[in-house]
Chains A and B, each alone.
Chain A
Amino acid sequence: MSDSSSVGIVVPQIAHFAEPLALRSGAILPAYDLVYETYGTLNAAGTNAVLVCHALSGTHHVAGKHHENDKHPGWWDNMIGPGKPIDTNRFFVIGVNNLGGCHGSTGPVSINPATGKPWGSSFPIVTVDDWVLAQSRLADRLGIECFAAVVGGSLGGMQALQWTLTFPDRVRHALVIAAAPNLTAQNIAFNEVARQAITTDPDFHGGDFYEHNMVPWRGLRIARMLGHITYLSDDAMGAKFGRKLRSGDIKYSFDVEFEMESYLRYQGDKFAESFDANTYLRMTRALDYFDPAADYEGNLSAALANAKADFLVVSFTSDWRFSPARSREIVKALLDNERDVTYAELTAAHGHDAFLMPDKHYHDVVRAYLENVE
């Protein structure tokens, strides 16, 4: 089986960084690893690199498979590959797991060399700017002076935007998809409920559950269930599940009665088995804290004044967690600065998750934009 539009079998790599990283919080990470994958070939001039930034639960495994019978390709496999919108025949694409993650980059689950125990609760809070800084060091390591494009959806889109501010000379195009210039109060509220679910789980042990050989899976599961509801639209849920019953009859019980419940439990269980609760806390906090305008008295236009990149901003009509209105705020700030910007507001039923869906027009937009990126 060879799928000509797949990047095929990929092998994650690890870059170790011995130079300390000063974090936004004031904490210093003495040394760290970043796990990453690359697809395609970096050209001799090093000008065709595209960085793909992941969202809350994403990883470095963006495209391809880890082995021949791998049932689950990378999380954005429909977007990235030979001939796909982010075309690996042209671009050298990099996926990297962010600091604080739980898929191989240094995070709460990693061993702190100073103590010989997992970092756990002592792993510092990381922010979007910290991630961008760490990613830039990986770019240095790979010989990439300037990215042709930095691409991301949701929290990944925030990183793409931050790249243009932290390193205006190191990114020529930013694709900011289903993102926002900061979180609304409602969004922070959702994140707080998720965190409370985790931190009040008796198995959480203040974040040091590893040494108790426990996992606060109940809290993590509920956090994920809540998140999942907000990533979908009411219409999409209605279309997919409606009020369908699991067994056809109401049983007057608190077991799974509706298909919707079954789906949520399944998603929650699957996630809680594979994801780290401390990582989830930190990813949601990074979302909460992201606010480039905060240093400019809330003036986003002033915050984006240093950006030099060209932008493609994309939103989805049914996305109520990162609504089109929030993307329009980014667009307005870019217009105020006379940046080259294109904004596509895509009609989509899938809510926030639409940015991961293989919609033809969405893919055509990304493809067309990148075709004009030299």
Chain B
Amino acid sequence: MTHVPAQAHAHFSEAAAERRDFTAIAQWIAPGAKVLDLGCGDGSLLGYLRDTKNVRGYGVEKDDANVLACIKNGINVIQMNLEEGLAGFEAQSFDVVILSQTLQAMYSTERIVQEMLRVGKEAIVTFPNFGFWKHRLQLILGNMPVSKNLPYQWYDTPNVHLCTISDFDNFCRDHHITVQERLVITDGKTIHLAPNLLGSLAMYRFGNAA
């Protein structure tokens, strides 16, 4: 990647220290892997993976401000709309394709997951668990859930396809997706007991069914 000043590297490590999902994703990625990060935002995750795992990678992003931030951060970014699929990326051309907290904001949910598995040997998907107890409680009390992972009001949310961990498990089963690992976290801590109730962020690593 383009050389960036040492300061920028420090920035990614610091930002990542607070992002348990970053460190969890990093654990799933082999050093030097070729990574595609869909909906890469300002490139923080890729920057973190570059600094800690020496990955080679590209981000995909549609938002102008995020594309500019990626360029500033020295991250390779391709500006395109994920809803249109991943035309332009060859089959099996990446070790890992990541969709980090973007799935719930996409219309073409099935298509993007299929595209991830076409382009990547492995895929990592993370999403906010709508089944988290705080979300359920807010619904019982009569309001749409608002939380750290769902920070929007019903009228300004970009999220269109929210799901629970149980829903996504079913999705994988119905689409013949072999889940290799699943990690559920809340406030940076791994949740083992009743993850669909107690987990706020779900992370999946999967590949095509053998």
Contact = CB atoms under 8 A, between A and B. Distances in A.
Interface of A: 310, 312, 328, 331-332, 335-336, 338, 340-347, 361, 364-365, 368-369, 371-374
Contact of A365 (B34, B58, B67, B90): B67
Contacts of B72: 368, 371-372
Contacts of A336: 90, 93
Given A342-B71, A343-B77, A371-B72, A328 B56 contact: no
Given A328-B88, A340-B2, A373-B2, 14 more contacts: A310-B2, A335-B90, A341-B58, A342-B70, A342-B76, A345-B79, A345-B80, A346-B64, A364-B68, A365-B67, A365-B71, A368-B68, A368-B71, A371-B72
B3 A374 contact: yes
5 contacts: A335-B93, A340-B1, A342-B71, A372-B3, A372-B72
B160 interface: no
B89 A335 contact: yes
Contact of A343 (B1, B68, B79): B79
A343 B78 contact: yes
Contact of A335 (B67, B68, B88): B88
A374 B78 CA distance: 22
A347 B70 contact: no
Contacts of A364: 68
A344 B3 contact: no
A332 B80 CA distance: 12
Given A340-B76, A372-B4, A331 B64 contact: no
Interface centre among B64, B70, B75 (most CB of A within 10 A): B64
Given A361-B64, A372-B3, A374-B3, A331 B88 contact: yes
Interface string B48-78: 0000000010100000100110111011111
A331 B79 CA distance: 11
Contacts of B1: 340
Interface in B2-16: 2-4
A341 B64 contact: no
A373 B1 CA distance: 11
B45 to A, nearest CB: 16
Nearest to B60: A343
Contacts of B77: 342-343
A347 B76 CA distance: 20
B6 to A, nearest CB: 13
Contacts of B93: 335-336
Nearest to B34: A338
Contacts of B78: 331, 335, 341-343
A369 B89 contact: no
A369 B75 CA distance: 10
Contacts of A338: 34, 56
B88 A332 contact: yes
A369 B71 contact: yes
Nearest to B4: A372
B64 to A, nearest CB: 6
Nearest to A341: B76
A329 to B, nearest CB: 9
Contacts of A346: 64
B190 to A, nearest CB: 35
Contacts of A373: 2
B89 to A, nearest CB: 6
A335 B94 CA distance: 11
Contacts of B68: 361, 364-365, 368
Nearest to B56: A338
A178 B74 CA distance: 22
Contacts of A310: 2
A119 B80 CA distance: 48
Nearest to A332: B88
A368 to B, nearest CB: 4
B182 to A, nearest CB: 30
A345 B66 CA distance: 13
Contacts of A371: 72
A347 B64 CA distance: 9
A372 B76 CA distance: 12
Interface string B119-149: 0000000000000000000000000000000
Nearest to A301: B90
Contacts of A345: 79-80
Interface centre among A331, A342, A346, A368 (most CB of B within 10 A): A342
Contacts of A342: 70-71, 75-78
A369 B77 CA distance: 11
Interface centre among A331, A343, A347, A373 (most CB of B within 10 A): A343
B209 to A, nearest CB: 27
A338 B95 CA distance: 13
Nearest to B2: A372
Interface string B11-35: 0000000000000000000000010
A336 B90 CA distance: 7
Nearest to B90: A336
